[in-house]
Chains A and B, each alone.
Chain A
Amino acid sequence: GAGVSQSPSNKVTEKGKDVELRCDPISGHTALYWYRQSLGQGLEFLIYFQGNSAPDKSGLPSDRFSAERTGGSVSTLTIQRTQQEDSAVYLCASSSGTGLGEQYFGPGTRLTVT
């Protein structure tokens, strides 16, 4: 079956531009997570969606970062006025039920800010 998909796979943007990253979770999974993976920094939690509940945005590093999830399925992570330090791989993961089960990760979007 189809796993978690993300697009684009690679994104190169100029400093100051806005970018949108997309995540399609596994069908039926109600929990969705965004992480940032930087070299030597591991996985940094960004935001968590669970069904129709208000998202947990506690991991967003600044107000330039935002995310939404439409219809409880597809999610978009938006970074406004990108900075070079935003360069990283952005991972999306989904999980069934309350999110206590295994997380299934997407392939990631590699963002490079020049």
Chain B
Amino acid sequence: AQRVTQPEKLLSVFKGAPVELKCNYSYSGSPELFWYVQYSRQRLQLLLRHISRESIKGFTADLNKGETSFHLKKPFAQEEDSAMYYCALRGGSYIPTFGRGTSLIVHP
């Protein structure tokens, strides 16, 4: 079975502060990990995936197989980063498992 845990429902930071959205997973094989983002009144969209090792909008995420984590980080949060963030895992099937999401609020 595969499981994704996002322990924080809400994360509140001030503009310019570092932000880390936590994601822990459970899967016995080699997973594919994603972060999706949903801005207010917009549709859910892919932010980044671990295999591409990109930095998107200043966000990075590193897959840590030892800790089974895929935390999303940004050194300096911006107000426009305020959104709902979902971590997702795809294991052996074509059906991804999503976490419950973390709402990020960046205060001015």
Which residues of A come within 8 Å of B, CB atoms? 3-4, 31, 33, 35, 40-43, 45, 48, 50, 56, 58-59, 91, 93, 98-100, 102-108
Contacts and interface: CB of A to CB of B under 8 A. Distances in A.
Contacts, number: 49
Contact of B46 (A35, A41, A102, A108): A102
B100 A98 contact: no
Interface of B: 6, 9, 32, 43-46, 49, 86, 88, 90, 93-101
A91 B44 contact: yes
A110 to B, nearest CB: 12
B98 A43 contact: yes
A48 B95 contact: yes
The 7 closest A-B pairs by CB, nearest first: A42-B100, A43-B98, A99-B94, A105-B44, A102-B46, A105-B43, A107-B43
